[in-house]
Chains A and B, each alone.
Chain A
């Protein structure tokens, strides 16, 4: 099955730094979602995007739906230790039926 390409695969940053990650595909998506997974838990939805070009914020998190509908990015500003975890993008393919396609994940580690 298709998976979305996420980059970077992992990041090790200092507390207070801004973080940026992205998700790309060769196919067109009509919905983009960003999830965070804490260690040993299930992913939790952070942000949902529904239109090309849409920019949405949730606290220190900002995500954008790419104009081409083939990509999305997530920014985290002023990172804190509790930002540690795996971040997944997910999307619904145009004509892809009633399933989400998930990215490969970005593992974020924050150094105090």
Chain B
């Protein structure tokens, strides 16, 4: 079955450490996205990539980094520069030329800084 997989589901990090969240899709989608969701809040765009080896900052990119070396994979690194990293992180993908089909989302990773 095609889909988008985020791992791990729960992640704990000590303050000052970098951590990488995995996102893999086998839908052959061109574009991939990372969103942050805080409790009771909407979705805020961190980074997005429309093609391999290219990505753009979203609305809240500070303290985060990404790479897009393969079409299937779009990992997100939460760096120690991110002041308040505890949140629910969602990865999504889409067919670039048919955005009217919307995004397919992963099931999310809940990151907690301890």
A residues with CB within 8 A of B: 1, 3, 31, 33, 35, 40-45, 48, 50, 88, 90, 92, 98-100, 102-105, 107
The residues of A that contact B102 with a CB separation of less than 8 Å are: 33, 35, 45, 48, 90, 100
Task: Indicate if the CB atoms of A44 and B40 lie closer than 8 Å.
Answer: no
The residues of A that contact B105 with a CB separation of less than 8 Å are: 35, 42-44
Chain B, range 84-98, C-beta contacts under 8 Å to A = 88, 90, 92, 94, 96
**How far is the CB of A12 from the nearest CB of chain B, in Å?**
14
**How far is the CB of B81 from the nearest CB of chain A, in Å?**
21
Task: Indicate if the CB atoms of A42 and B90 lie closer than 8 Å.
Answer: yes
* Bound-state Cα–Cα, A88 to B99, Å: 17
Q: Can you list 25 A-B pairs, Cβ within 8 angstroms, ordered by A?
A: A1-B58, A31-B99, A31-B100, A41-B108, A42-B90, A42-B92, A42-B106, A43-B105, A44-B105, A45-B104, A48-B100, A48-B101, A48-B102, A90-B103, A92-B99, A98-B31, A98-B94, A99-B99, A100-B94, A100-B99, A100-B102, A102-B42, A104-B42, A105-B42, A107-B40
The residues of A that contact B43 with a CB separation of less than 8 Å are: 43, 88, 102
* Bound-state Cα–Cα, A75 to B92, Å: 26
B residues with CB within 8 A of A: 6, 31, 33, 40-45, 48, 50, 58-59, 88, 90, 92, 94, 96, 99-108, 110
Nearest-CB residue, chain B, relative to A107: B40
The residues of B that contact A40 with a CB separation of less than 8 Å are: 88, 108, 110
**How far is the CB of A37 from the nearest CB of chain B, in Å?**
8
**How far is the CB of B45 from the nearest CB of chain A, in Å?**
6
Which of B42, B58, B107, B108 is the one whose CB lies under 8 Å from A103? B42
The residues of B that contact A33 with a CB separation of less than 8 Å are: 102
Which of A3, A50, A100 is the one whose CB lies under 8 Å from B103? A100
Could you list 14 further interchain pairs (A-B, Cβ under 8 angstroms) beyond the known A42-B106, A45-B102, A99-B45? A1-B58, A33-B102, A35-B102, A41-B107, A41-B108, A42-B6, A42-B105, A43-B90, A48-B102, A88-B43, A99-B99, A100-B102, A100-B103, A105-B41
